[in-house]
Chain A
Amino acid sequence: MSGAIANELTCKELVELITDYFEDRLPTDENRRFELHVCTCTGCRVYLAQMRALVRAAGRLAEKDLPAAVRENLLRTFRDWKRGAAEP
């Protein structure tokens, strides 16, 4: 949600800043703007919680945890994507 308050963070900005927030790289004022926005935006609060859960879950995964079929599927997708990107 965004509106008439000039220095208020928008939802779009929050999405762009979330990695820096997690990595504690935001300047203190920016960090406060980030958290102020979260306090008054249900959507961003949910998004932040989802991202936190994702980071926690992904942090526990090792390469060997990946089922062979999923691994193969991912590799195929990346190969196709690279091949597509290389085409003129």
Chain B
Amino acid sequence: MIAYKFLTAGAAAPFTGRPWPLPGPRAPGAWIVAPQGDLARYGVHACRVEDLSYWPDEELWLVELGGTILHQPCQLVAARGRLLQRIAAWNVDSAREYAVACAWRARDVAVEALGRGGLVAEEAALRACMDLVSLQATATTLAGDGPRDATRGLVAYVAGAAMRARQGRYPEASLQCAHLGAALAGGEAGAEHERAWQARWLAHRLELREIAARSGVGTLSL
């Protein structure tokens, strides 16, 4: 099965720090084999497209998984895995774009909610923002005016997402968006909805369908 894996710089596993064997020009990397025991715990972890937004890191790789593969919440876990190729489209620039996209997504979701709630002035103020500086400033002001209620709570997430996007902190900008979704929907489903939007954004921006097709190792259902 073909899947994805986020790694830290130098193709290192994000939690153990162990480097993955790199692929050669025409050959995949060597297999990493999970130790005997609890596969869910000690297996090779990887992502479906819909899991990508939960595990962002510096490098994104196309991986092949083999043996038993468990489909778990937010991740796949396999008995073995190997690197096929690095997805070069995921880099500092696209990560920054992702953070910015999350901030504007937060704005759009909040604007819709404000409109539904009849908060016309607040909706217009957020809608008028043309850059992240004004978005952060406006959302901060709106969130801070008067007592904190559910609506102001939503706007605070917009301010948070804009601030983190300006700093290039894409994991946290995307998390602010997920929090906004959860606050709006009153639970996990709202966060998952936003995570799904983020995964679609990543798949589209990084051309994951095309990369999987070009890799010649199988097709990928997005």
Is the A/B pair a real complex? yes
- Report A's interface with B, CB cutoff 8 A: 1, 3-7, 28, 31-32, 35-36, 38-42, 52
**Total number of A-B contacts with CB less than 8 angstroms?**
59
Other-chain contact of A3, B6, B55, B171, B183 (Cβ < 8 Å): B183
In whole Å, how far is A49's beta carbon from the nearest beta carbon of chain B? Answer: 9
- Report B's interface with A, CB cutoff 8 A: 6, 14-15, 17, 38, 40-41, 54-57, 72-75, 153, 157, 169, 171-172, 174-176, 178-180, 182-183, 187-188, 190-191
Contact B54 A36 (CB under 8 A): yes
Contact B171 A5 (CB under 8 A): no
Q: Contacts A4-B191, A7-B188, A36-B54 given: A28-B182 contact, CB under 8 Å?
A: no
Contact B175 A1 (CB under 8 A): yes
Q: Which residues of B contact A41 (CB under 8 A)?
A: 171-172, 175
Contact A40 B171 (CB under 8 A): yes
Q: List 5 A-B contacts (CB under 8 A).
A: A6-B188, A28-B40, A39-B55, A39-B171, A42-B171
Closest B residue to A3 by beta carbon equals: B179
Closest A residue to B180 by beta carbon equals: A4
Instruction: State A63–B200 Cα separation when bound (angstroms).
Output: 55
Instruction: State A5–B195 Cα separation when bound (angstroms).
Output: 12
Q: Which residues of B contact A38 (CB under 8 A)?
A: 14-15
Q: Contacts A5-B178, A5-B188 given: A36-B74 contact, CB under 8 Å?
A: yes
Q: Contacts A3-B182, A5-B179 given: A39-B38 contact, CB under 8 Å?
A: no
Q: A28-B38, A39-B55 are in contact. List 15 more A-B contacts (CB 8 A).
A: A1-B175, A3-B157, A5-B178, A5-B179, A6-B182, A28-B41, A31-B41, A35-B14, A35-B15, A36-B74, A38-B15, A39-B54, A39-B56, A39-B57, A39-B171
Contact B191 A32 (CB under 8 A): no
Contact B14 A39 (CB under 8 A): yes
In whole Å, how far is B163's beta carbon from the nearest beta carbon of chain A? Answer: 12
Other-chain contact of B172, A28, A35, A36, A42 (Cβ < 8 Å): A42
